[in-house]
Homo-oligomer: A and B are copies of this chain.
């Protein structure tokens, strides 16, 4: 059977989801746990790569197995073999041709900012601190300018392979900013992302919130298709893969 899992992880100690030579990946640790449960090492298909240090609240992955564990028991079985910074949240059977990456309609990322002079000892792994008071209304006005179908070269790290292939058009269906106390969260939903796109978009909205850029300048920056017109790339630790949407029912 083909099984879709939703997993959450604290990315602090990992080089990203995908197996890599330069560090310990979430996928590698996950496959170790699966091997301990299933007796073999299933090939897993992730919904996306995430960068080193990026977190996930509901990453999606699928794998084929002929194990006899009832599907609803799979989360607990794998969780007993995982470190506490990775958890399986749910499991469901999906059609044989389901692929967690290609079946995804859109993904939502959150970027979390601690908008305070003083860091929180409890949240410092999961927010990036911006001491200057951010104007969330201005950030929302600029966020609206990013919605729609655009060439997002301006929000793409220089030297990425998508940019090299001219594959830089994506559709952002929602982009908005919310303040809860000291925490300002940027939410972006799109059908796909370029390399570092959310972190550059977040850095650009912080420029707007700090009064260093206007919404009109964000529109002009997007139109210019020029990375140098956007704000800085924000650090990985504030970024969360929040949701991945599929057609229902999946099985």
- Residues of A bordering B, CB below 8 Å: 8-10, 55, 75-76, 79, 84-89, 117-122, 124, 126
Contact = CB atoms under 8 A, between A and B. Distances in A.
Contacts of A75: 118
B84 A9 contact: no
24 contacts: A8-B120, A8-B121, A8-B122, A9-B121, A10-B121, A10-B122, A55-B122, A75-B118, A76-B117, A76-B118, A79-B118, A79-B119, A84-B119, A84-B121, A84-B124, A85-B121, A85-B124, A86-B121, A87-B118, A87-B119, A87-B120, A88-B118, A89-B118, A122-B126
A89 to B, nearest CB: 6
A39 to B, nearest CB: 23
A59 to B, nearest CB: 11
Copies of the protein in its oligomer:
2
A126 B124 CA distance: 14
A118 B76 CA distance: 8
A124 B121 CA distance: 15
Contacts of A88: 118
Nearest to A55: B122
Contacts of A79: 118-119
A218 B34 CA distance: 44
A233 B84 CA distance: 22
A29 to B, nearest CB: 12
Nearest to A86: B121
Nearest to A118: B87
Contacts of A76: 117-118
A55 to B, nearest CB: 7
A89 B121 CA distance: 11
Given A10-B121, A88-B118, 12 more contacts: A8-B120, A8-B121, A8-B122, A10-B122, A76-B117, A79-B118, A79-B119, A84-B121, A84-B124, A86-B121, A87-B120, A87-B121
Contacts of A119: 79, 84, 87
A233 B88 CA distance: 29
Contacts of A121: 8-10, 84-87
A89 B89 CA distance: 35
Nearest to A88: B118
